[in-house]
Amino acid sequence: MSTDWRWEFDPDQAHVAGGIPEHVVAALVAPRDPLIVIVRIVPPLDDL
């Protein structure tokens, strides 16, 4: 996988979540951290 790839449109949090109550944003963001850990631990399917 290329490390040079990136999104052409890279909105900030204010653009994506603007107007949504903070407690809702926090509830949606909370599951993100364990998923990031899993993605870093599990090898890509191409490598299996």
Q: Which residue type occupies 43?
A: P
Number of domain units in the chain: 1
> Is residue 23 in a domain?
yes
Cα distance between residue 11 and residue 29, in whole Å: 16
pTM, rounded to two decimals: 0.47
Cα distance between residue 25 and residue 31, in whole Å: 11
Q: Which structural domain range is residue 37 located in?
A: 17-47
The pLDDT tens digits for 1-48 are: 567 777 788 888 889 899 999 999 999 888 888 888 888 888 877 766
- What pLDDT sits at residue 2? 66
- CA torsion 29→33→38→41, rounded to 10°? 150
Identify the sign of the CA torsion 18, 21, 26, 31: negative
> Is residue 4 in a domain?
no
